[in-house]
Amino acid sequence: MIFLVTAGPTREPIDPVRYISNRSSGKMGYAIAEAALKAGHDVVLISGPVKLHSSRGAKLVSVSTSDEMFDAVHQHAGDCDVCVLCAAVADYKPATVSPLKIKKRGDEISLELVPTRDILASLGSRRDRRFLLVGFAAETHDLQENAVKKLRAKNCDIMVANDARVGMESDENELLVLFRGGEIKKFHRTPKQILARELIKIFSKFATKVFDKKNVMISERN
């Protein structure tokens, strides 16, 4: 199979030296990409700015902003069997970007923010979608409830949820894996490399079932 994996944060520029970002290390996404490679799959890794080295064999696409990640994902998604959107993409970006460094002044300053394009929702709504869609939900409260809402709202096949206070910048994570049919699988706090191997097994098995079902439907129509 061909896996598309997104990882890391995005940086939304304010001026030439400042930006809005988040604490994502990219470790979970990179671990998933490595696990997919070790399982014999091809991998396209679309990464925001991180201090990590990608595994040999992955096709690395480096991006910085949410718009760059949006374009890169849509460029490669159509050729993939499984899309795993693990990146922590900024929800908002500055409405305007100053071409010059904003000088510090004594008075207050306001920054107008506008929503970024929703990559996960855009993939879930694609009419030509032929891939398994996996989303990630990092929450600080009501983990399962918010993850279920996101699973349905974004039209995903699987949603992987974690408490951001546990997994952010850490080598470990604990996860809830929610399926469209209502099944939930829980992983207690474990190194991300081990979690990634288990996730790849789940994604591969689920994708195989989906593809087999689609092939049967096509055969019946013919």
pLDDT, tens digit, for every residue of 61-107?
A: 999 999 999 999 999 999 999 999 999 999 999 999 999 999 988 88
- Pairwise CA distance, residues 78 & 84, whole Å: 13
Domain membership of residue 215 (yes or no) is: yes
Domain with 30, as residue range(s), is 2-90+113-221
Could you tell me the pTM of the whole model?
Answer: 0.91
Highest average pLDDT, of 17-21, 51-55, 168-172, comes from: 17-21
Domain membership of residue 117 (yes or no) is: yes
CATH number at residue 166: 3.40.50.10300
User: How many domains would you assign to the chain?
Assistant: 1
Torsion angle, alpha carbons of 6, 8, 13, 14, to 10: 140
Domain membership of residue 187 (yes or no) is: yes
Domain membership of residue 102 (yes or no) is: no
22 is catalytic: yes
Domain membership of residue 108 (yes or no) is: no
Read off the tokens for 8: 């890391």
Domain membership of residue 96 (yes or no) is: no
Residue 37: what are its φ and ψ, rounded to 5°?
-60, -45
* 196: nearest Cα among 63, 21, 11, 26: 26
Give the angle subtended at the CA of 80 by the CAs of 63 and 50, to the nearest 5°: 25
Q: Residue 212: what pLDDT?
A: 56
Domain membership of residue 166 (yes or no) is: yes
The answer to whether residues 199 and 30 touch, using CB atoms and an 8 Å cutoff, is no
What band does 173 get if pLDDT is binned at 50, 70 and 90? very high
Catalytic residue among 22, 155, 162, 173: 22
What percent of the chain is predicted at pLDDT more than 90?
84
**Residue written as token pair 């949603």:** 159
pLDDT, tens digit, for every residue of 193-222?
A: 999 999 999 999 999 876 655 543 333 333
